Structure 1
């Protein structure tokens, strides 16, 4: 049995997350989606913002790097295909300009 395996019993995830540290192994616990959504630090650090979608409001995370004096907007999320015609028209115009 390895030193890390000799901890004994059936450790829960908190005990398993602590055991590499006891042996000087750099490691971190990997959260699943529920663990991410419910992570207490995200709430404590006010990392969640609300944005609008055609189906109603959704919560989203701020980017990892932010500045304390800049509030990043969470704009409305477009519906699927909402801007397709405008984008295709713009691309067609750019292609036409490239032909001259």
Structure 2
């Protein structure tokens, strides 16, 4: 997403005036980009834990043929790259 914002800037396309940009994983640098990058915050360790459990279930053949749905807690950190106001 940071690369996208850089390329849009080089092309003369304003973020967020002409295009909104949102990322996933809320990297530390996101709040210091220009404009600050809106991002989905997720517990990456929790995601890895759940993925590992699903893999172990598949290996042990304990899982349903279509897998299972796991929702890892997440939330949107609104910053200026989407046209919103930065959270304090």
The answer, yes or no, to whether TM exceeds 0.5 is no
Bigger radius of gyration: 1
Q: State the TM-score, normalized to the length of structure 2.
A: 0.35
